[in-house]
Chains A and B, each alone.
Chain A
């Protein structure tokens, strides 16, 4: 019985850890939203900023990946 509770709580913990990913989702969404908003205002400057766009996206996304990795460690570690 005890073992089952531990196993069950592990799943709950993994689920809770994965909540951190919504922060990354919001962040990535905001980056693209701002990029498109700015690109609509000044389309000629947009291509020069795609590099910054993807670096920003990668940095924001990494935080979400961390919580995914924590969830995976709890599940399989």
Chain B
């Protein structure tokens, strides 16, 4: 019996195992790439499907007195619309579908990852970096489309003495180019670190219980700590999606009003 628990403990103690990409289906070879349907693909599809189902259902039967699902949809709409309005102004509402999709995709992926045995897609740089690159390309392309070369004023804050610009412009350019990196690493790092901590506390509980004797008294402490960390992770899941969407709005505001 004890041996069995030790075995369980050793498996549970490996907190990195949850991030392994597993091949579910072989899709064959296209060109010189071999494609697989992995658990990452599966959970990304699942999170998008959940959003489409939720908002599709919420929007399908619109009533003047909203049902519960419709209220959720309206709250989500209002939340994102208010956020864009307060940061980027009325003009920013052009980007409402973009920010809305980003927020709810990341939120769904984060929350889905909290389900035991689920795979957290946002804990991989391969997922978060394309999202961030998408945001920054939208900002750059729209910035040049709308302002032309006046978009470059973004790198030239007004009101400084002329000799400061030799230092200021390189700093502004670097801080702009680093944005996709920070945007993706923040989401990735938060999800990675949070999930490692979750699995560590769960592993402590199991291995303390398996150790027997006095240690069994300590096992509930680790378990309670794990539950508390789980609650914290729910907060982080929402907060990181919020921060990602919010910083997207801040960057879009730069594209809309480059001279600051």
Using CB atoms and an 8 Å cutoff, list the residues of chain A in contact with chain B.
Answer: 51, 54-55, 57-59, 61-62, 65-66, 68-69, 72, 76
Kindly state the separation between the CA atoms of A54 and B246 in the bound complex, as whole angstroms. 9
The count of A-to-B residue pairs whose CB atoms sit within 8 angstroms is: 38
Q: Is chain B's interface secondary structure helix, strand, loop, or mixed overall? A: helix
Known contacts A65-B185, A69-B185: does B86 contact A54 (CB below 8 Å)? Answer: no
Kindly state the separation between the CA atoms of A55 and B179 in the bound complex, as whole angstroms. 13
> What are 9 residue pairs bridging A and B, where the CB atoms are less than 8 Å apart in the complex?
A54-B243, A58-B247, A62-B182, A65-B186, A65-B188, A65-B193, A68-B189, A68-B193, A69-B189
* Across-interface contacts of A68 in B (CB, < 8 A): 189, 192-193
* Across-interface contacts of A76 in B (CB, < 8 A): 16
* Across-interface contacts of B246 in A (CB, < 8 A): 51, 54-55, 58
Is A58's CB under 8 angstroms from B193's CB?
Answer: no
Which partner residue on chain B sits nearest A68 by CB separation?
Answer: B189
Kindly state the separation between the CA atoms of A66 and B243 in the bound complex, as whole angstroms. 17
Q: How far is the CB of B171 from the nearest CB of chain A, in Å?
A: 15
Kindly state the separation between the CA atoms of A59 and B87 in the bound complex, as whole angstroms. 17
Is A58's CB under 8 angstroms from B243's CB?
Answer: yes
Is A62's CB under 8 angstroms from B185's CB?
Answer: yes
Kindly state the separation between the CA atoms of A61 and B189 in the bound complex, as whole angstroms. 10
* Across-interface contacts of B86 in A (CB, < 8 A): 51
